[in-house]
Amino acid sequence: MATATSAIQIKKDESSNAKTWRRFTKHRAAMFSAVVLALLLLVAIFAPIIAPYAPDKIDASNLYAPSSSAHWMGTDGLGRDVFSRVLHAGRVSLLVGIVVAVLSAIIGVIMGLLAGYYSGIPWLLSVGAGSPLWKERQNAEGSSFIWRTGLRWLVWAGLIALFLQITGQFAATFSGTAAVLTWAIGGGLAAVTAYYAFYKAIMIDIDNAISRLIDVMLSLPNIPFLLILSGLLANPEVPLGKLLDSVFGQSRSIVLIIFVLVLFGWLGTARVIRGLVLSLRQREFTDAARAIGSSDWRIMLKHLLPNAIAPIIVQVTLDVGNNIVSEAALSFLGFGIQEPTASWGNMLSGAQEAIFQSPFTVFWPGLFILLTSLSINFLGDGLRDALDPRSRL
């Protein structure tokens, strides 16, 4: 019986997952890279077990020692074992790379979904009795209309008050006509805002706002900007710096660099997702979901997002590599992970002095950065071929 059914069973179509897997395994460089990455991850995770010495154990009698059986990669300028430090640094660098990529992807996806889905559908920020929208919103929002309108007005009143206060501080620094002019401009702007907020309506196209924000952030030169930002937040006298200090203590520089890199990390993903969502929302399945009464969030998360998952996976993978290199660059310049915590980047930061003493001290950390970032790039390439066979560079 069993043999009979198996004999007449028609060979099923390969599932799409199996196809993807087959395409991925054909990309030999990506397969090899995946193995290398898995090894690197394992080594990083088990660093405390593998490392022969503590990463911050200083040995002043043994500075810049060459490779030997005791110190496989030699020692650095403080006599610390480079091999142990490279292993421990891998934990920090990989952790930063992965966490930044995931957080950037989450923010990027949310921003991209909002921008793409609500493109051309302005959000109402305030409405007054003089606007034709007044009646419309009254009907749409029903009994909640009164407190909703009150809340909107309250927020706008607060904003206008703040703006007037700033105008006052501005005007106080001038005298004569300049002060009068400042009051005239500030007051005029406040009056116009008040007119629209309380009598007419204020609408905002969220797509426009997010896209312009991305434009502005992309036009900031990012390495210099990150330098200033991390310099600022690393200062323990700044309130935010104080907070970071009290919560994270020693590892604050890790949290800091994650924050700083995420700030610029989400832009690419947001753009890609926005473009995809703009085309996906025209498709029939979106109309169908809306017709059966799905909420906007449900459509975005259950219908649009799964269709955009392939580019997100590729983007996150490639981002991990870019983040590791960016972290290394900032740490190298002295603005990233701070001593005594080791990262592949800050192990290179004393490099210019070390090159005369012991070149190999700076060779190893860089080699690990290269190895990781190269593997990730190959893996990303393989994933792109496998998940999204139509796109090719």
Partner 1 sequence: MFLYASRRIIAMIPILLAVSMAIFGLIQLQPGDFIDELRLANPKMTTADVERLRREYGLDQPWYVQYGKWLNRAVRLDFGLSRENGYVPATEFVFEQRLSNTVTLSSTAFIIALLIGIPVGIYAAVRQYSLLDYVTTFLSFVGFSIPVFWLGIMMLILFGVTFKIFPTGGMQSEGVTQYVESTEQFTATGQVKKIEARDGQTIITVAVYDEASKTDLPKEFVLPANTRAAVVVDDYVSEGQALGQRVTFDSWLKWFLDFLHHLILPAVALSIISIAGWTRFMRASLLEVINQDFVRTARAKGLAERIVIYKHALRNALIPIVTLVGLSIPGILNGAVLTETVFNWPGMGTALLDSVVKKDYNVAMVILMMLSIVTLAANLLTDLAYALVDPRIRYN
Interface ranges with partner 1 (CB under 8 A): 29, 166, 169-170, 173, 212, 215-216, 218-221, 223-225, 227-229, 231-232, 235, 237-238, 321, 325, 328-329, 332-334, 348, 351-352, 355-356, 359, 362-363, 365-366, 369-370, 373-374, 376-378, 381, 393
> C-beta of 377: minimal distance to partner 1 in Å?
5
Q: Are 321 and 97 in contact (CB under 8 A)?
A: yes
Q: How far is the CB of 212 from partner 1 (least distance, A)?
A: 8
Amino acid identity at 198:
F
Minimum CB separation of residue 8 from partner 1 in Å reads 42
Instruction: Sort 388 into a burial class: Cβ within 10 Å, 0-12 / 13-18 / 19+.
Output: middle
- Write the CB contacts of 125 (distance below 8 Å, at least 6 apart in sequence): 152, 156, 202, 203, 204
Nearest distance in Å: CB 47, partner 1: 21
User: Please, which residue, 171 or 304, has the CB nearer to partner 1?
Assistant: 171
Task: Give the whole-angstrom CA distance, residue 391 versus residue 393.
Answer: 7
d(CA 2, CA 27): 38
340 preceded by a cis bond (ω within 30 of 0):
yes
Q: Please, which residue, 104 or 377, has the CB nearer to partner 1?
A: 377
Q: Give min distance, CB of 149 to partner 1, in A.
A: 30
For 79, phi and psi rounded to 5 degrees? 75, 15
Residue 123 vs 174, nearer CB to partner 1: 174
- Residue whose CB is less far from partner 1, 78 or 217: 217
Query: Coil, strand or helix: which one is 339?
Result: coil
Identify the helix (H) or strand (E) that includes residue 24. Answer: helix 16-26
207 vs 381 by CB, closer to partner 1: 381
CB of 161 to partner 1, least distance (A): 15
Angstrom distance (rounded) from CA 98 to CA 267:
17
Supply the minimum distance, in Å, between the C-beta of residue 308 and partner 1: 24
- Cα(75)–Cα(309) distance, integer angstroms: 45
Report, in Å, the least distance between residue 344 CB and partner 1: 9
Task: Please say which residue, 45 or 178, places its beta carbon nearer to partner 1.
Answer: 178
| Helices assigned H by DSSP within the chain | 2-8, 16-26, 28-45, 47-50, 82-117, 133-141, 145-172, 177-198, 206-219, 222-233, 239-248, 252-280, 284-291, 296-298, 309-332, 351-357, 360-387
- For partner 1, which is the closer residue by CB, 341 or 377? 377
**Closer residue to partner 1 in complex, CB, 14/215:** 215
